[in-house]
Amino acid sequence: MLLDKTIEELSTGLKQKLFSIEELVQECYENIQKYNPKLNAFITIINKKEALRNAREKDKNISRATSKLYGIPFLLKDAYITKGIKTTAASFVLKNYIPQYNATVYQKLLDAGAILLGKMNMDAWGHGGSSENTDFGPVRNPWDLTRVAGGSSGGPAAAISSRMAVFAIGEDTGGSIRNPAAWCNITGLKVTYGRVSRYGTIAYASSFDTVGPMAKSVGDCAQVLEVIAGKDMYDATSSSKNVPRYSELIDSPVENLILGIPKEFFQEGLNTEIKNCILNSTKIFEKSKIKIKHISMPMFDYGLPVYYLIGPSETSSNLARYDGIRYGQKRKEFTSETVRRIMIGTYALSSGYYDAYYKKAQKARTLFIKEYDKALSECDVLLMPVTPTPPTKIGELMTDPLQNLLADVYTVSQNPVGVPSLAIPCGFTKNGLPIGMQLVGSMFSEDLLLRVGHIYQKATDWHKKYPKLEG
Amino acid sequence: MKDKEFEPIIGLEIHVELKTKSKMFCGCSADYFSHKPNTHCCPVCLGLPGALPVPNKKAVEWCIKLGLALNCKIPLFSKFDRKNYFYPDLPKGYQISQYDRPFCVNGWLDIKSQIPNSKRIRIRRVHMEEDTGKLIHANINGKKCTLIDFNRSGIPLVEIVTEPDIRSSEDAKIFLKQLYQIIRYLDISDADMEKGSMRLEPNISVRVKSQKFLRLPFSQIQDKRSGQAKIKSNNELLDNNDLPNYKVEVKNINSFNFVKKAIDFEINRQLEILVNGGVPKQETRGWDDKKNITYPQRSKEEAHDYRYFPEPDIPPVRWTTNQILNIKDQIPELPYKKIDRFIRNFQISQYDAMILTDDIKTANYFEECVILINRFGKKSEISPKIIANNIINKKVNINKNTPAEIMNIIEKKAEKFHVDDKELEQIINKLIKQYPKAVKEYKTGKTGVLMFLIGQVMKTLKGKGDALVIRKFLEKALQ
């Protein structure tokens, strides 16, 4: 199957005309047609004929291709604005919304020659960790259809896991790339805040939102990041820091790097199978002469409160524009989970409560920044779980909002700090459900995370496994 | 009697649209006035999903420039905040503004008040924000409807807030005129009130001078947001301590005269309530310029909770001292300094200096002419005063002629009017003999009679001669 190949292999093969873009796109549509009805990963599938026509056009010009992503089929979480293509953020509030412009990340991929095949299902507005809080029906986990795919970027994760396209662009505000990547057995990168432009991303929490790649491997994520990263004149929070050649740097040596294991992330509440699986992976790192160091990050417990005050505060303001007047749908279309977040945020910002909630959370955020600074001055990379449990049963989290919040416990503290994190597959439970771990580094250390992740994937083949969905 | 017991307390809030090329947070043209509705729009100023604001550097610099011209301090750290409220002309559901870290704070402007000669009005803050869209109430096919024009949405807007230091409607007007002049000098806005590019909001209350019952103990000074008592600097504490515990804001007035009228109306309205033992309601009122009255718009209970919080889409602004100094260097000599210099250097009257400096163009023109005096030299009869007279009395057209051309005109006129010293002396001697009574009166101290004699000289000269020169000669002859 062409879709098992890495971006590097595909790009080379296309150039050498061992196969065509048309064949590659054709294969994607075959898988989409076979698996999507089971998974419900898509909100919008791009017209097949159109995509194939596009592919044939690109095949003609393959010799002139400059980008490795030329002719590579990809998917976007439906939070990205696409001109002329329905964009909903998985909410009926934007049921029939056709945007007038392109998100920067989408435009960059188009410019590179990549081919969009669909807009993916997710938790509405990014509000959730299971892709059940969607008006388009829950996304199902390809490894067990009775379970969730994770969220909020569940659609992209399920689709990449089942080989419906080569890569996807997810969006991570508190784990939204890493959580579904871990539960669907793919690789996902939450970039440093400001590394990739947010222009054209339907905002959840503006100071946490990050745009990142989801793919089969660390190498593929590096290829995509190289194209989408960089300063954007349309996003004042995007960084002008130089974009390294990530895909070339992933083979750089890792000897003597220090991998920190913060004990608070491996205590009560973490599923034993997941814990043992992740701690076992340290052996692989040690073989590559990476040193292991046990550290402490006592702020851990405050991660969820900080995230669930600032996130909803910002979302309450960000969603104010969907006032029932301009986008054709009434506000009653907001789901109860979204209404809950709007209410919490409105409350936290209100006169008389601001100091006690929003402001206090911002102060705690500063403490988190200091704590991560300290940990990352002692270690180069931190190793942490992504999710406390394996994928939950469909409906389980939706009936228990508090449990729903707890699913994010390991991934919410990196976003307020801004640091990057790479989620990679590291094994399976005895029931055959994927387990992921995350590598966290200091600001703009994506190259380092990718290097360490790549070493791990060279030594293991967890990331090469994919679900059996036939029959 | 009233005047002795009561005293108006007035503060001003002024919004000024900057005339930058592009809007505050996007690349759309900011030149929106009288353009076809919704033609200067993009995803950013329409508040479309996913769009992000990028601050206009020029607008921010201009805001700082105005702050500096108003003697403000420029904190090296500043940020934008979101002001959340719903209104159909506000497409994002919030306005990007500045809350607790404005670009400019603690300034002042000395106004030339009647009593005493000048009075210092403190400026609390000058901050940057964006304008909203415009609602147009129309009748379409017999159906009443409201249309929205987003061309104005995102136009850079500077808000200037004074301390409640103004004590009369006249002073308010003088302050606004001076502020207008400074804005024009800085060339950052047309400040055209008819177009709405300068909008005025007076805050008015009336204080009982002698009695204490209206005084507010400091523990009750409420922070706008938290509703909690907030102790600020000692100065502010003392001032606030003396303020009435209510204020009435009159919204969006578009002329200095209306501001004056609205303030006077409010003072009288509030006085009447106070005299009858009541306390006026804290509220926002509108101004009806046809009936010349204010009318209630929104009471304290209906006041918004704006839920301000830092704008996460725009990084905080950090200045270096050098950057601020660079902006300061771009500020031209301001009117009050120019007036002093003109009086000092050119020996013209304060009145003339004020007229000449009214707008920077005339002032510059005048100076260019003065520089040319030497060139026209040979102990030229042309003094800065003569140039000033010519410009002020519009005897020359500064819009049509260059300074050199004008100097030629004045020179020729001067030649034509030139009177030989000897001739003048002869005429004066003759007149002294002709009017012995007047001469006698002058010598007994009735100097007013000099004007009569000057008149007689000029009559004899048939309009030639310079009154000042004649006066000099007359005085000499009469000694």
Q: Is the pLDDT of residue B229 over 60?
A: no
A178: Cβ–Cβ under 8 A, 6 or more apart, which residues?
Answer: A172, A188, A190, A386, A411, A421, A423, A436, A438
pLDDT band per the 50, 70, 90 thresholds, residue B214? very low
> Residue B385 pLDDT > 60, yes or no?
yes
- Work out the number of other CB atoms within 10 angstroms of the CB of residue B217: 9
Q: Could you read off the pLDDT of A326-343 as tens digits, one per residue?
A: 998 999 999 999 999 999
Reported residue count of chain A is 471
The whole-number pLDDT of residue A471 equals: 60
Q: Return the minimum-mean-pLDDT range out of A21-30, A259-268, A311-320, B366-375.
A: B366-375
| A176 vs A154: CA distance, rounded Å | 8
**Which of the four pLDDT bands, split at 50, 70 and 90, describes residue B210?**
low
The predicted model scores a pTM of 0.89
- Reported confidence tier of residue B458, pLDDT bands at 50, 70, 90: confident
pLDDT at A300 over 60: yes
Q: Predicted confidence band at B378 (pLDDT cuts at 50, 70, 90)?
A: low
Catalytic residue positions of A?
Answer: 77, 152, 176
pLDDT more than 90, % of chain B? 59
The mean per-residue pLDDT over the stretch B163-170 comes to: 95
Name, of B211-220, B313-322, B405-414, the range with top average pLDDT.
B313-322
pLDDT at position B228 over 50: no
Q: Is a pLDDT exceeding 60 seen at residue B230? A: no
CA-closest candidate to residue A94, choices A39, A136, A128, A131: A136
Residue type, B264: D
Average pLDDT over residues A369-377: 98
A23 touches chain B (CB under 8 A): no
- pLDDT for the residue B376: 63
pLDDT at B426 exceeding the cut of 50? yes
- C-beta atoms of A317 and B82 within 8 A: yes
Average pLDDT over residues A54-59: 98
pLDDT of residue B236: 39
Q: Tens of pLDDT along B250-263?
A: 998 999 999 999 99
Nearest to B93 among A233, A236, A320 (CB): A320
A251-273 average pLDDT score: 96
Determine the pLDDT at residue B437.
Answer: 85
Average pLDDT in the B157-172 region?
96
Q: What is the mean pLDDT of chain A?
A: 97
Structural domain boundaries in chain B: 2-329, 335-417, 421-478
**Residue where the block lists tokens 């389980």:** A396
CATH of span B421-478: 1.10.10.410
Q: Are A190 and A423 contacting, i.e. CB atoms less than 8 angstroms apart?
A: yes
The residues of B whose Cβ lies within 8 A of any Cβ of A are: 43, 47-55, 82, 84, 86, 88, 91-94, 225-228, 305, 307-309, 312-315
Sketch the domain layout of chain A as residue ranges: 2-256+266-278+384-464
- Label the pairing between strands B6-17 and B198-208: antiparallel
Answer whether B226 sits within 8 Å of A351, measured CB to CB: yes
- B269 vs B214, higher pLDDT: B269
Strand partners, A19: none
pLDDT band at B211 (very low <50, low <70, confident <90, very high): very low
pLDDT of res. B1: 41
Residues 271-310 of A with CB under 8 A from B: none
Strand pairing report for B156-162 and B198-208:
unpaired
Please, which pLDDT band fits residue B390 given cuts at 50, 70 and 90? confident
Question: Using a CB-CB distance cutoff of 8 angstroms, which residues of chain B are in contact with residue A357?
Answer: none
pLDDT class for B215, splitting at 50, 70, 90? very low
pLDDT of residue B377: 58
Residue B3 has pLDDT above 70, yes or no: no
At A179, the pLDDT band (50, 70, 90 cuts) reads very high
10 Å Cβ neighbour count for A223?
Answer: 26
pLDDT at B464 over 80: no
**pLDDT 10s digits, B59-102:** 999 999 999 999 999 999 999 999 999 999 999 999 999 999 99
The pLDDT tens digits for A115-156 are 999 999 999 999 999 999 999 999 999 999 999 999 999 999
Cβ–Cβ contact A356 with B under 8 A: no
Say what the pLDDT of residue B238 is: 38
Class at the top of the CATH hierarchy for domain A2-256+266-278+384-464: alpha beta
**Shortest Cα distance, chain A CAs vs residue B147, angstroms:** 12
Kindly report the nearest CA distance between residue B210 and chain A, in angstroms.
35
Chain B residue closest to A316 (CA)?
A: B84
Inter-chain CB proximity A355 and B228 less than 8 Å: yes
For an interface test with B, give the residue of A193, A234, A360 to mutate (most B CBs within 10 A). Answer: A234
Comparing CB atoms, the residue among B43, B47, B307 nearest residue A346 is B307
| Closest chain B residue to the Cα of A102, Cα to Cα | B50
Supply the pLDDT for residue B416.
67
Contact B227 A207 (CB under 8 A): no
A61 close to B (CB below 8 A): no
CA atoms of A321 and B47, how far apart (whole Å): 7
Contact B50/A103, CB-based, under 8 Å?
yes
Q: A314 to chain B: nearest residue by CA?
A: B312
Helices (H), B187-315: 234-241, 256-275
Which among B54, B91, B225 has the least Cβ separation from residue A354? Answer: B225
Tell whether the model's pLDDT for residue B405 goes beyond 80.
Answer: yes
DSSP class of B341: H
- Of residues B407 and B214, more confidently modeled: B407
Closest by Cβ to B312, choosing from A314, A350, A352: A314
ipTM above 0.90, yes or no: yes
Nearest to A352 among B49, B84, B226 (CB): B226
d(C-alpha A388, C-alpha A409), whole Å? 7
Express each pLDDT in A408-447 by its tens digit.
999 999 999 999 999 999 999 999 999 999 999 999 999 9
pLDDT score of B297: 92
Counting residues of chain A whose pLDDT is more than 90, the rounded percentage is 96
